[in-house]
Amino acid sequence: MKGYELASDFLAKRLDPVMYAESIDLPFGDLYQWQKDVLSITQGNVCINGARQAGKSTIVSVVPCHKAKYCPGSLSIVIAPTLTQAGEDMEKIRSCVARDEMFPKMTRGNDSELRFDNGSRIVVAPATDAARGKSAPAVVILDEASRIEDFVFSEVVLPMFTKSKRYLFLRISTPNGKKGFFYDDFNDEKVKRFEVRSPFDVSPANNWTLIPAKPEDEYRREMAAKGIRAYYSPQHRDLDKQQAFLERMGKLRYEQEFCCQFVEPEDQVFSYADIDAMFSTRAKPDNEDTLIAPPEEFSDAYGRVI
């Protein structure tokens, strides 16, 4: 049987998602500082470039639950790359709801949607046309956004906001190459950006050895200069475990999955820098002095000027 929540507590938690999250005994443990900073943002465009197992699930589950409880009649949507991932996200959201004894009563619940007696809804869908048709959401979360196709982003997700006046649009993912909307958004100064990565780097002298990354204060200052709030993940401070990941994954995969770098695929023939240079009007030959100016006129084999 549900109890009653003091009006003062209800109002305080409504205004402070961090207080709400800390009050429901999350299965993920205490909140990290980066999670608190993200949860404190209640509207706008947010992009989180986060290492695997950094604690992204807390954001995916808490944000829609907070909105559903404290904003009656609201719609929160979570979109994942696959049906399996969408199912995992729904389980985490259900767990969050179950831990809050004061949560509104659920009137409908299935694998893709939860409805509550205050009129709020939480919808979880794979990144296909199944997510199409929703409008005026208060929250949209793209989980593992870098694995979601661009056409879903532009043709399914963006039109949802046509009638929305105030909303939170959150993209959260590990990188997946220098391509796609997630890469573009993480390099957009207008977006509120976060990075949460391993405190280790691959040694320049040995691709199979990890070394401590630069001091966290220095790293955070450098990223802040780019407009990015950056953190070393508390989940990744065990050097032995990280070294084991490197040995199994190799340099490029480790740098992508744990150092949050937008790296080039191992089977890519041309580097991103090479591709950029092909289409750059600033590209110059290696030795401009050896160029021979073309004649003003050319003749074909029959002496005709062409």
- For the chain, the domains span 7-290
What pLDDT does residue 9 have?
86
Beta bridge partners of 46: 170, 192
Distance of alpha carbon 44 from alpha carbon 190, whole angstroms: 10
Distance of alpha carbon 177 from alpha carbon 276, whole angstroms: 14
* Residue 40 scores a pLDDT above 80: yes
Q: What is the pTM of this model?
A: 0.84
Q: With the CA atoms of 4, 8, 10 and 16 taken in that order, what torsion angle do they form, in degrees rounded to the nearest 10?
A: -150
Task: Name the burial class of residue 90, with classes exposed (0-12), middle (13-18) and buried (19+) by CB atoms within 10 angstroms of its CB.
Answer: buried
Tens-digit pLDDT profile for residues 129-177: 878 888 899 999 999 999 999 999 999 999 999 988 899 999 999 999 9
- Phi/psi region, residue 270 (left: phi>0; alpha: psi -120 to 50; beta: rest), is beta
Distance of alpha carbon 81 from alpha carbon 63, whole angstroms: 19
Helix (H, G, I), strand (E, B) or coil at 75: strand
Q: Measured in whole angstroms, how far is the alpha carbon of residue 126 from the centre of its chain?
A: 16
What pLDDT does residue 275 have?
42
Phi/psi of residue 266, nearest 5 degrees: -65, -30
Enclosing H/E stretch for 92: helix 83-98
CB of 139 closer than 8 Å to CB of 170 = yes
Q: With the CA atoms of 120, 14, 192 and 218 taken in that order, what torsion angle do they form, in degrees rounded to the nearest 10?
A: -140
Find, among 210, 264, 197, the residue nearest to 52 by Cα: 197
Tens-digit pLDDT profile for residues 264-282: 865 444 444 444 554 455 5
Find, among 100, 132, 135, 105, the residue nearest to 118 by Cα: 105
* Residue 198 scores a pLDDT above 70: yes
Tens-digit pLDDT profile for residues 221-254: 999 999 999 999 999 999 999 999 999 999 999 9
Within 13 Å, how many C-alpha atoms sit on residue 274's CB side? 5
Tens-digit pLDDT profile for residues 86-109: 999 999 999 999 999 999 999 999
Which of the four pLDDT bands, split at 50, 70 and 90, describes residue 294? very low
- Write out the CATH class of domain 7-290: alpha beta
